[in-house]
């Protein structure tokens, strides 16, 4: 309600002046809120304020689908796959010529809850049902109505060492010219301490993993690595979870393979070679290598040891392998 919302926003304004903050990866400052790092303002978006407002105002629908990730964990890919799966009937006669994913960045097809959706920025959603939305918001700050509505959530995580490498390159590409390039040592230190948007990495993943154990029918927990290794099977699993399993006839017609191809790194990176997603954010910044294990060419043995140790400790007892 409005009173709660105003109280929350007052608390938020106080917090911004007093709470721990750190320099972020691109041009932003990061603030701690409920144990997670958030940017307040970046690329014209008040993300932290949006998240707090959404907690009090957002009404999820039971038919909604939420794609939840940490940045650089395969968000763009899972957005494309879910969009192509859910909307396949609408484009079944023209997948290869005029599918939206052949024109628009997947981020235009599936808006982020805390940025495009909240800011009512124009996106290519075209009134699609079910509502397909994405978010990086940590479990503890997710609007309660999402958890209560019984809607479907897909969570995708990725090997932390590859997330670090991906975030390092992404951030350096987007930094203001006035700010010097970030060195990899610096990126490693920040990541290790948990300082990244929506991090610490381990706490974000663990909270959603635990939620998936409690609510296996509502949340599908995926890894980027599994998706890479076994794309066809995982795409079928995803469709089944989203309530629109592929029929035998569709499989025989090659629809699954077509969706895999449409959403492949090779295809999407080609489509998104030019243009901007938002001001200062070119479409191609979301596509770099698209591989598993690029960390091997960036991390020293010592860095690898440190991150492996943190992961072993934090994920103790969890069945997550990369
Ligand atoms: P790399 O930087 O390791 O190449 P996000 O979408 O969460 O921002 O994550 C970006 C990472 O996913 C980048 O990883 C990017 O190359 C990779 N990626 C983007 N589209 C992909 C696709 N269709 N298939 C596989 N990986 C993809």
CB of residue 287 inside a 6 A radius of ligand 1: yes
CA of 19 to the centre of ligand 1 (A): 32
Decide if pLDDT at 44 tops 80: no
The alpha helices in the chain, defined as continuous H runs, are 2-18, 47-57, 75-86, 95-98, 106-109, 118-119, 144-148, 160-174, 184-192, 201-214, 224-229, 231-241, 248-253, 255-262, 265-271, 301-314
CB of residue 38 inside a 6 A radius of ligand 1: no
SS3 27: coil
User: pLDDT value at position 165?
Assistant: 98
User: pLDDT value at position 96?
Assistant: 55
User: pLDDT value at position 219?
Assistant: 97
Q: What residue owns the CA closest to ligand 1's atom 24? A: 265
Distance, in Å, from the CA atom of 44 to the CA atom of 279, rounded to the nearest integer, reads 9
More confident residue, 93 or 177: 177
List of residues 6+ apart from 172 with CB closer than 8 A:
181, 182
Element (H, E) at 66: strand 65-69
User: pLDDT value at position 126?
Assistant: 61
Mutate to test the pocket of ligand 1, among 287, 292, 295, 298 (most ligand atoms within 8 A of CB): 287
Q: What residue owns the CA closest to ligand 1's atom 27? A: 290
Annotated catalytic residue within 136, 215, 298, 316: 136
Check: CB of residue 38 under 8 Å from CB of residue 30: yes
pTM, entire model:
0.95
Supply the CATH classification number for the domain 60-314. 3.40.50.300
35 Ramachandran zone, left/alpha/beta (phi>0; psi -120 to 50): left
Cross-strand pairs, 157: 223
CA of 313 to the centre of ligand 1 (A): 27
Q: Which pLDDT tens digit goes with each residue over 105-134?
A: 999 999 999 888 887 776 776 666 789 999
Distance, in Å, from the CA atom of 42 to the CA atom of 275, rounded to the nearest integer, reads 19
The share of the chain scoring above pLDDT 90, in percent, equals 73
User: pLDDT value at position 45?
Assistant: 73
CA of 77 to the centre of ligand 1 (A): 6
Q: Exposure string (b/e) for 268-296, b if CB count within 10 Å is 16 or more? A: bbebbeeeebbeebbbbbbbbebebebbe
215 is catalytic: no
Decide if pLDDT at 182 tops 60: yes
CB of residue 272 inside a 6 A radius of ligand 1: no
Q: Which of 284, 290, 262 is nearest to 101 (CA)?
A: 262
Dihedral angle at the C-alpha atoms of 34, 49, 66, 151, nearest 10 degrees?
A: 80
CB of residue 288 inside a 6 A radius of ligand 1: yes
Distance, in Å, from the CA atom of 89 to the CA atom of 80, rounded to the nearest integer, reads 15
Look at strands 132-135 and 152-157 and give their pairing: unpaired
CB of residue 73 inside a 6 A radius of ligand 1: yes
CB of residue 263 inside a 6 A radius of ligand 1: yes
């Amino acid at each position: 309600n409005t009173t709660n919302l105003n109280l929350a926003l007052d608390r938020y304004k106080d917090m911004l002046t007093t709470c721990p903050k750190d320099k972020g990866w691109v041009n932003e400052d990061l603030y701690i809120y409920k144990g997670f790092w958030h940017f307040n303002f970046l690329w014209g978006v008040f993300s932290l304020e949006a998240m707090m407002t959404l907690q009090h105002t957002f009404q999820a629908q039971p038919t909604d689908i939420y794609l939840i990730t940490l940045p650089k964990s395969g968000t763009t890919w899972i957005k494309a796959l879910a969009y192509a799966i859910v909307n396949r009937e609408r484009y079944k006669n023209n997948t290869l010529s005029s599918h939206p994913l052949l024109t628009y960045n997947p981020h235009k097809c599936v808006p982020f809850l805390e940025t495009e959706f909240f800011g009512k920025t124009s996106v290519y959603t075209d009134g699609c049902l079910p509502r397909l939305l994405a978010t990086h918001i940590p479990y503890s700050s997710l609007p309660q109505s999402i958890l209560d509505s019984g809607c479907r959530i897909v969570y995708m995580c990725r090997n932390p060492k590859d997330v670090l490498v991906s975030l390092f390159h992404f951030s350096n590409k987007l930094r203001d010219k006035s700010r010097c390039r970030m060195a990899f040592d610096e990126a490693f230190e920040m990541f290790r301490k948990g300082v990244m948007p929506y991090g610490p990495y381990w706490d974000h993943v663990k909270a959603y993993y635990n939620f998936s154990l409690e609510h296996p029918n509502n949340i599908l927990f995926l890894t980027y690595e599994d998706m890479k290794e076994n794309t066809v099977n995982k795409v079928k699993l995803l469709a089944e979870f989203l309530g629109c399993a592929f029929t035998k006839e569709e499989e025989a017609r090659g629809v699954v393979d077509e969706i895999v191809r449409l959403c492949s790194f090779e295809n999407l990176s080609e489509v998104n070679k030019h243009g901007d997603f938002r001001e200062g954010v070119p479409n191609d910044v979301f596509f770099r290598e698209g591989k598993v294990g690029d960390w091997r060419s960036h991390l020293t043995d010592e860095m690898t040891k440190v991150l492996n140790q943190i992961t072993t400790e934090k994920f103790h007892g969890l069945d997550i392998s990369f």
